[in-house]
């Protein structure tokens, strides 16, 4: 399976301005979060990008994309009908092709020499199926993420066959339906904000859109929960960490993580030590 298209969602009410925030990237240059995400995608071998935006935001995003703007198709989500609906807005762009999907309010730091999206695309290409990136997450964070249940695939490090998907599960539901042998007690595999999906997902999303109608609330997780009924669906524990820039101190945490993995690491560490020493002495 060859993945040459990517979709980035940026139309959510609390999400639409986050990708326009400026960060100092690992190379020491200032970039909008959008560009950092685009470079994650391009590094994975993707040629064409589609960004789903709120009505009226196209020019702001086109400007923020800089030299990458010519590669991007911008699509407006006409009404806030849910994350799944935002993904479905890219159906004409996807056009029966597999695609890489990312959210615009997450930044990623790989713990290997391959970026997170590159790792995921490699697995999906090899296994020839939909693969969602996941991260082992403590149960206190369950209200913020979708999570999967399933079984570990023997002799395949970090790879799981998905049988269940629940959006923001309660701890009780997670314990009952999402426990996976081998994970630490109280930890579950939650979505990473990054998927490689087959065209079948768009067909399932259409059913969700038709079912929900104008009341909205279309969730990608509802379509993913049904996907194992029709085709193989895997989850991969990416070697890296996600940073939600929309959360409390999210921008600060993401910037620190990027800085501590970049060329200015020593300078940043010195500044942090100096700051801590100052606070201790006060």
Q: Give residue-wise pLDDT tens across range 8-52.
A: 999 998 888 999 999 999 999 999 999 999 999 999 999 999 999
**Percent of the chain clearing pLDDT 90 (strictly above):** 88
Q: What is the pLDDT of residue 181?
A: 87
pLDDT at 200: 96
For residue 253, pLDDT beyond 80? yes
Residues 52-97 have pLDDT tens digits of 999 999 999 999 999 999 999 999 999 999 999 999 999 999 999 9
Delineate the domains of the chain, giving CATH numbers in brackets: 5-129+193-216+238-281 (3.90.550.10)
pLDDT digits (tens, 9 = 90+) for 227-252: 999 999 999 999 999 999 998 899 99
Lowest mean pLDDT of 36-40, 170-174, 197-201, 276-280, name the range.
276-280
Q: pTM of whole model > 0.75?
A: yes
pLDDT digits (tens, 9 = 90+) for 182-227: 889 899 999 999 999 999 999 999 999 999 988 889 999 999 999 9
**pLDDT for 49:** 97
- Measure the CA–CA gap between 65 and 72, rounded to whole angstroms: 9
Looking at residue 236, what DSSP letter applies? E
Per-residue confidence (pLDDT) for residue 14, from 0 to 100: 82
Distance CA 85, CA 90 (A): 9
pLDDT of 282 above 80: no
For residues 131-157, give the mean pLDDT.
Answer: 94
pLDDT of residue 259: 94
pLDDT attached to residue 250: 94
Q: How far apart are CA 141 and CA 31, in angstroms?
A: 29
Q: Is 279's pLDDT higher than 80? A: no
Alpha-carbon Rg of the chain, whole angstroms? 19
Distance CA 159, CA 106 (A): 22
Give the span between the Cα atoms of 62 and 68, in whole angstroms: 9
C-alpha span between 236 and 152 (Å, rounded):
10
pLDDT reading at 281 higher than 90:
no
- pLDDT at position 52 is 98
Check residue 15 and give its pLDDT.
Answer: 86
What local confidence, expressed as pLDDT, does residue 278 receive? Answer: 84
Mean pLDDT of 143-170: 94
What does the pLDDT read at residue 83? 95
What are the structure tokens assigned to 202, written together?
């768009």
Using alpha carbons, list the distances in angstroms from residue 174 to 11, 56, 89, 139, 147.
29, 39, 30, 8, 8
Closest by CA to 89, choosing from 233, 209, 213, is: 209
Question: Are the beta carbons of 210 and 155 closer than 8 angstroms?
Answer: no
Residue 183 CB-half CA count within 13 A: 26
């Amino acid at each position: 399976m060859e993945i040459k298209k990517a979709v980035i969602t940026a139309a959510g009410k609390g999400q639409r301005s986050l990708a326009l925030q400026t960060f100092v990237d690992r190379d020491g240059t200032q970039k909008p979060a959008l560009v950092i995400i685009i470079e994650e995608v391009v590094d994975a071998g993707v040629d064409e990008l589609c960004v789903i935006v709120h009505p009226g935001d196209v020019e702001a995003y086109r400007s923020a994309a800089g030299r990458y703007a010519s590669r991007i198709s911008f699509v407006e989500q006409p009404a806030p009908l849910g994350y799944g609906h935002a993904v479905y807005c890219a159906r004409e762009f996807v056009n029966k092709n597999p695609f890489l999907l990312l959210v615009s309010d997450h930044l990623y730091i790989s713990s290997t020499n391959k970026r997170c999206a590159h790792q995921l695309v490699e697995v999906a290409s090899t296994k020839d199926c939909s693969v969602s990136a996941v991260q082992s997450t403590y149960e206190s964070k369950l209200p913020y993420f979708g999570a999967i249940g399933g079984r570990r695939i023997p002799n395949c490090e970090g790879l799981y066959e998905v049988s269940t998907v629940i959006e923001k599960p309660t701890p009780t539901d997670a314990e009952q339906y999402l426990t996976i042998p081998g994970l630490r007690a109280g930890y579950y595999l939650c979505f990473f904000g990054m998927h490689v999906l087959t065209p079948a997902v768009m067909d399932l999303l259409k059913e969700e859109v038709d079912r929900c109608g104008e009341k909205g609330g279309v969730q990608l997780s509802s379509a993913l929960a049904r996907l194992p009924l029709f085709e193989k669906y895997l989850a991969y524990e990416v070697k890296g960490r996600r940073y939600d820039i929309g959360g409390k101190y999210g921008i600060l945490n993401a910037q620190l993580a990027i800085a501590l993995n970049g060329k200015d690491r020593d300078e940043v560490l010195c500044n942090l030590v100096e700051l801590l020493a100052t606070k201790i002495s006060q």
